Chain A
Amino acid sequence: GESVGLHLPTLSVQEGDNSIINCAYSNSASDYFIWYKQESGKGPQFIIDIRSNMDKRQGQRVTVLLNKTVKHLSLQIAATQPGDSAVYFCAENKNQAGTALIFGKGTTLSVSS
């Protein structure tokens, strides 16, 4: 398929736990990957990105891991907070001029306190 897929449509965690959201991509030529967070009624908000020449990148409370061998991407959120509740999308750039990001279907993260 053309689009990026996700392993689980929903994920429920307790406040303070670490969350891991997984994503599988299909195009081995993709060289850029990005995670977005979308809250209800809002557009996608940039979280973190990574290029294919890296395996890991860290931000504030978030880490993205890239495994090119199995075409797998994950987003780790440390000490998950209720404000992290949202839909999370991974997206890939297929390394073609004039194309934009290709999104998966998303994982809904619910954080209970």
Chain B
Amino acid sequence: DTEVTQTPKHLVMGMTNKKSLKCEQHMGHRAMYWYKQKAKKPPELMFVYSYEKLSINESVPSRFSPECPNSSLLNLHLHALQPEDSALYLCASSQERGVGYGYTFGSGTRLTVV
């Protein structure tokens, strides 16, 4: 299995809702990442997990809460989002933390906040 699977593919949520994005990989990768991508812009790093521990938080607002239950799963919990948070949320994984390895990206969750 050489894929990163993200669910759901599309999500519409209100500003008072709580929702979660899920990401799963079975490649034995020990590093997992959340990126945010706005239309016609490059992906922006949000969080880095290494060996199930949060190692980098790019000053992301607390309404985004990541969680890594085990080495194969990565969640992003969403609460009280704003319309400007609407974007494509990409999960990625790599063999180890760091930039010496290519990243495998999932197909993303397209989030719309209304």
Do A and B come from the same complex? no
Chain A residues within CB distance 8 Å of chain B:
none
